[in-house]
Amino acid sequence: MRKTHVLSLLLLVLLAFPLFGDGLGNFDLGFTLGTRSHFFEKDDTAKLAVNYGLTIGVSDVWEVDVTASSQLVPGFFADGGLQVMLQRSLLGFRNSGKNIAGMGYNMLAGFGVGFTTYNQYGKFYPTHLLFTLTPAAVGSPSLRKRERLLTLTLGINLYTQQFSLYLDIITDDFYVLGTYKDHPLPSPTASPAP
């Protein structure tokens, strides 16, 4: 599968989001920026990497994260990968889609697919099965910002039969849709006359 096929697949996934509700960003949509360390993957030589992309709320408890990770040091954007993750909040609803905020503290767990060149062909293939756990997510889409801390992701490289571990010490989510600004409180009704 070539890179264009992967991008086409992603586009299809994004286009399919209206099936989940009233449309993309029905619940929330945000940008993601965070750290990324990759352990036990012999082909990954990054000493510093950045993780960035989109986090898309598809229901009150489910979200899809489409993120890229790029090596910054030693080679500036010399290597990287792409992850598509489906995650569920574990400690209550992440966003109500209404004027009731989601939980300010949450945990997330999920699974997904990682696309890298870490295979014997050196091509950009779907190489990894990913299982992820975020023990602390502070903030919520409704509050416009969320910080995910110490996210651990187990990766299984199906080509090399190798296990690896991703550690994202901190990931910031900046929400642009589905925040309290999109769910204003109803205007107070006049109290009945005594």
Partner 1 sequence: MGKRSLAFLFVVLLAVSSLSARSFGYSLAFDGEKTESNAFGGASLGLVWKPWEREWCNPSFSVSASLGTDMAKRFAVPSTTFAVNVDLFRTLNHPFAFVAHNKIAYDPSLTVGMQVRYDEVVRPALYLSASPFKFSQPDFWYEALSPFGTWSSKGWSWGVTLFRFTFLCL
Q: Which is nearer to partner 1, 109 or 136 (CB)?
A: 136
Nearer to partner 1, 8 or 77 (CB): 77
CA distance 88 to 40: 26
Residue 34 Cβ vs partner 1, minimum distance, rounded to whole Å:
8
Q: Among the residues of the chain, which ranges form H helices?
A: 3-15
Smallest gap from Cβ 146 to partner 1, in A, equals: 10
Closer of 23 and 74 to partner 1 (Cβ): 74
Q: Which residue, 46 or 56, has its beta carbon nearer to partner 1?
A: 46
Residue with tokens 């999109």: 182
- Smallest gap from Cβ 147 to partner 1, in A, equals 11
Looking at the Cβ atoms of 88 and 145, the one nearer to partner 1 is 145
Contact in structure between 95 and 27 (CB atoms under 8 Å): yes
CB of 78 to partner 1, least distance (A): 10
Q: How far is the CB of 162 from partner 1 (least distance, A)?
A: 16
Judged by CB, which is closer to partner 1: 87, or 140? 140
List residues binding partner 1 (CB under 8 A).
Answer: 33, 35, 37, 45-48, 50, 72-74, 139, 143-145, 169-170, 172, 174, 176
How far, CA to CA in Å, does 81 sit from each of 17, 28, 88, 166, 193? Answer: 23, 24, 22, 12, 64
Specify the residue for token string 């997330």.
Answer: 108
Query: Alpha-carbon distance 124 to 186, whole Å?
Result: 49
Q: Minimum distance between the CB of residue 172 and partner 1, rounded to whole angstroms? A: 8
Beta strands in 40-144 (DSSP E): 48-57, 62-73, 80-89, 105-116, 125-140
Encoded tokens for 94: 């992440």
CB 104 within 8 A of CB 94: no
Whose structure tokens read 């510093």?
Answer: 48
